[in-house]
Chains A and B, each alone.
Chain A
Amino acid sequence: MKVSGRAIIFGDNVNTDVIIPSKYLTSLDPNELAKHAMEGIDPSFPSRAKSGVIIVAGRNFGCGSSREQAPIALKYSGVKCVVAESFARIFYRNAINIGLPVLESPGIRGLVNEGDTLTVILDEGKIINESKNIIVKANRLPNFILEIIMDGGLIEHLIKTMRGERYEV
């Protein structure tokens, strides 16, 4: 599974309150949430992300609350994948569960500039920086997590499993 897009760079400890501020949490509409993605750091983010982007961030991306609205807002704003030095664990799980690919790649921040074109090969745990012509290794996701992402999220995965199309949760 492969995704491509231009890189948008963020720093360390980007928290869920800035990814999607609390006041929008009363909405259950992903497209509405997407309009406010990253509003706490960069209100222009949704217009920049529209064409399909890859977020490259520092340590502890997505720290803070358990709000799943955070990865949802990112996914629907056009984020194809988040690559970070490390993730906060609930964000990480949430992203996988809603089918937003996330990849840990220690050292990635130093190897990508804003606007670089990246291709992420998830099943190989590899990031290709097309603009710089380099290949960066990432921590490959375990198979059952890849399956969840490829099925489009945990629920789709669960439904398939329950129907017997897969035998293991």
Chain B
Amino acid sequence: MKPMAGMTISEKILAAASGKDYVRPGEIVDARVDMAMVNEITGPLAIQTFKRIGLKNVWDNQRIVLVLDHQVPADSVKSAELHKIMREFAKEQNIPFLYDVGDGGICHQIMVERGHVRPGELIVGADSHTCTYGALGAFATGIGSTEMAAVFATGKLWLKVPSTIRINVTGRFSDFVTPKDLILDVIGRVGADGAIYKAVEFTGPTISEMDISGRLTLCNMTVEMGAKTGIIEPDEKVIQYVRERTNRPFKIFRSDEDANYERTLEFNVDNLEPMVACPHSVDNVKPVKEVEGVEINQAFLGSCTNGRLEDLELAARILRGRRVKKGVRMLVTPASSEVYLKALEMGILEVFVRAGACICNPTCGACFGGHMGLLAAGEICISSSNRNFVGRMGSPEAQIYLASPATVAASAVEGKITDPRRFLGGA
């Protein structure tokens, strides 16, 4: 069929994955999956279900990645059992990519950092933040455990081709204003359900300027407005990042000039301020200055949104030579063992320890309210993660504010929510 209009990068990847020249939004395709990822919360259910199908082998043991990250090291016998199911499955199916305690980290960081994500690929993960990988020009989306079992069996999945919302970004970030502040601003304006079933594509000079870490932060949080994926056209930075991590060939797709976008939203970051998502929804976004002074009990720096080296470095700029306020606890979880090691070598971890912060092993940790860093009733946490739902980090009577690593660090030092720009110029 002759195309009526150009295609977006998302449409092109889905067309290629389903062996077609052309697809249009709304069309349902039966697509071939390039990589499939599960963690120990979603994996065991997928494995159990896969066994029910009755097949002996998975479709391709080189295309499955298993990560232990949500509750590591095991905090209970139940978690240990889940971990064991994952390890045994890897062994039995001869899957080389099992990231275990000590040699891994948060699944999404592992996927990009260890070269399991390449531009142009279709990647599914049994975790909602799988959309993160769009930062490398892949079409990546979260699915559930049962359909993951079907993917394990067949390597295929039905998908509805989403329409695309373009977010075009111009301008330069001021110091201590970050991609996290931008994505919070976007979600605040689009709303928690503003992009359900859609792809969100980021374009514009600010995105080209942005490092990979910042792009990962943007794409990571697109699911918080309901999106199926966040995606950015791969450029030289991406190609270099990926080449350093994998030998596997890949194909670059770019959106056509005349691609059909459902709508385009323009953002300019010249005057963007540090932003915060207030309890209890991610789209309840305000400038930090409007909530400055809210006293906190915990500051959490970590997660797949903001637990990378760049995030730790930024927080360390504020914490260097300072102390976390007495009565406040600060938790730091580097997103992976690689991030941990680099932060160690660069002396960043020392800055945190000297500041009185608690450094935890690479894990989802406090982000998920599973096994550590939980909040008591009435407590308030400022977090660099991506969700502030009721009960997300422990007690349903706790409150969570989401912000950038800079705002988290500044707030930890002051013991209350603080605009990080107060620390500019070594105040």
A5-38 CB mask vs B (1 if < 8 Å, else 0) is 0000000110101100111011110000000000
Compute how far the CA of A159 lies from the CA of B49 in the bound complex, rounded to whole angstroms.
Answer: 11
Chain B residues near A21 (CB-CB < 8 A): 369, 391
B403-417 CB mask vs A (1 if < 8 Å, else 0) is 000000000000000
Rounded to whole Å, the gap between the CB of B277 and the closest CB of chain A is 13
Query: Is A93 in contact with B144, judged by CB distance below 8 angstroms?
Result: yes
In the assembled complex, A105 has its CB within 8 A of some CB on chain B = no
In the assembled complex, B104 has its CB within 8 A of some CB on chain A = no
Rounded to whole Å, the gap between the CB of B399 and the closest CB of chain A is 14
Rounded to whole Å, the gap between the CB of B188 and the closest CB of chain A is 14
Query: Is A169 in contact with B154, judged by CB distance below 8 angstroms?
Result: yes
Contact A155/B49 with A23-B370, A26-B78 known, Cβ cut-off 8 Å: yes
Rounded to whole Å, the gap between the CB of A161 and the closest CB of chain B is 9
* Residue of A with least CB distance to B130: A66
Query: Is A89 in contact with B197, judged by CB distance below 8 angstroms?
Result: yes
Query: Is A13 in contact with B391, judged by CB distance below 8 angstroms?
Result: no
In the assembled complex, A131 has its CB within 8 A of some CB on chain B = no
Query: Is B30 in contact with A97, judged by CB distance below 8 angstroms?
Result: no
Q: Please, how many residues of chain B have a CB less than 8 angstroms from a CB on the other chain?
A: 50
Q: Please, how many residues of chain A have a CB less than 8 angstroms from a CB on the other chain?
A: 41
Rounded to whole Å, the gap between the CB of A25 and the closest CB of chain B is 5
Rounded to whole Å, the gap between the CB of B353 and the closest CB of chain A is 28
Contact A17/B392 with A66-B142, A68-B144 known, Cβ cut-off 8 Å: yes
Identify which of B38-46, B113-121, B299-307 touches chain A: B38-46
Chain B residues near A26 (CB-CB < 8 A): 71, 76, 78-79, 81-82
Compute how far the CA of A27 lies from the CA of B71 in the bound complex, rounded to whole angstroms.
Answer: 13
Query: Is A40 in contact with B53, judged by CB distance below 8 angstroms?
Result: no
Contact A97/B391 with A26-B78, A40-B396 known, Cβ cut-off 8 Å: no
Compute how far the CA of A5 lies from the CA of B390 in the bound complex, rounded to whole angstroms.
Answer: 28
Chain A residues near B156 (CB-CB < 8 A): 169
Query: Is A28 in contact with B147, judged by CB distance below 8 angstroms?
Result: no
Query: Is A12 in contact with B193, judged by CB distance below 8 angstroms?
Result: yes
Chain B residues near A63 (CB-CB < 8 A): 192-193, 226
Residue among A17, A59, A66 making CB contact with B127, cutoff 8 Å: A66
Query: Is B146 in contact with A154, judged by CB distance below 8 angstroms?
Result: yes
Contact A94/B146 with A155-B53, A169-B154 known, Cβ cut-off 8 Å: yes
141-172 of chain B: CB within 8 A of chain A: 142-147, 149-150, 153-154, 156, 158
* Residue of B with least CB distance to A43: B396
Residue among B42, B147, B387, B396 making CB contact with A154, cutoff 8 Å: B147
Contact A66/B158 with A88-B196, A159-B53 known, Cβ cut-off 8 Å: no
In the assembled complex, B52 has its CB within 8 A of some CB on chain A = yes
Chain A residues near B149 (CB-CB < 8 A): 154-155
Best-buried of B28, B48, B149, B192 by chain A (most CB within 10 Å): B192
Chain B residues near A64 (CB-CB < 8 A): 128, 387, 389
Query: Is B146 in contact with A97, judged by CB distance below 8 angstroms?
Result: yes
In the assembled complex, B281 has its CB within 8 A of some CB on chain A = yes
A153-169 CB mask vs B (1 if < 8 Å, else 0) is 11100110010000001
Query: Is A90 in contact with B82, judged by CB distance below 8 angstroms?
Result: no
In the assembled complex, B215 has its CB within 8 A of some CB on chain A = no
Contact A158/B150 with A12-B193, A60-B226, A65-B128 known, Cβ cut-off 8 Å: yes
Residue among A93, A159, A169 making CB contact with B30, cutoff 8 Å: A169
Chain A residues near B142 (CB-CB < 8 A): 66, 90
Rounded to whole Å, the gap between the CB of B292 and the closest CB of chain A is 27
In the assembled complex, B3 has its CB within 8 A of some CB on chain A = no
Chain B residues near A25 (CB-CB < 8 A): 41, 370
* Residue of B with least CB distance to A97: B146
Contact A23/B143 with A86-B193, A154-B150 known, Cβ cut-off 8 Å: no
In the assembled complex, A142 has its CB within 8 A of some CB on chain B = yes
In the assembled complex, B340 has its CB within 8 A of some CB on chain A = no
In the assembled complex, A48 has its CB within 8 A of some CB on chain B = no
Best-buried of B76, B126, B156 by chain A (most CB within 10 Å): B126
201-223 of chain B: CB within 8 A of chain A: none
Rounded to whole Å, the gap between the CB of A17 and the closest CB of chain B is 4
Best-buried of B49, B150, B389 by chain A (most CB within 10 Å): B389
Chain B residues near A87 (CB-CB < 8 A): 196
Residue among B52, B78, B196 making CB contact with A89, cutoff 8 Å: B196
Query: Is A159 in contact with B390, judged by CB distance below 8 angstroms?
Result: no
Query: Is A142 in contact with B228, judged by CB distance below 8 angstroms?
Result: no
Please list 23 pairs of residues, one from A and one from B, whose beta carbons are closer than 8 Å in the complex, sorted by A's number: A13-B281, A23-B369, A26-B79, A40-B391, A40-B396, A60-B196, A63-B226, A64-B387, A65-B128, A66-B127, A66-B130, A66-B142, A86-B193, A88-B193, A88-B196, A88-B226, A94-B147, A97-B146, A98-B146, A154-B146, A154-B147, A158-B150, A159-B53
Chain B residues engaging chain A, CB cutoff 8 angstroms: 28, 30, 41-42, 44-45, 48-49, 52-54, 71, 76, 78-79, 81-82, 125-128, 130, 142-147, 149-150, 153-154, 156, 158, 192-193, 196-197, 226, 228, 281, 368-370, 387, 389-392, 396
- A40-B391, A89-B226 known; 14 new pairs, CB 8 Å cut-off, are A17-B392, A21-B369, A26-B71, A26-B81, A60-B226, A66-B125, A66-B126, A67-B144, A89-B228, A97-B147, A154-B146, A155-B52, A155-B53, A155-B149
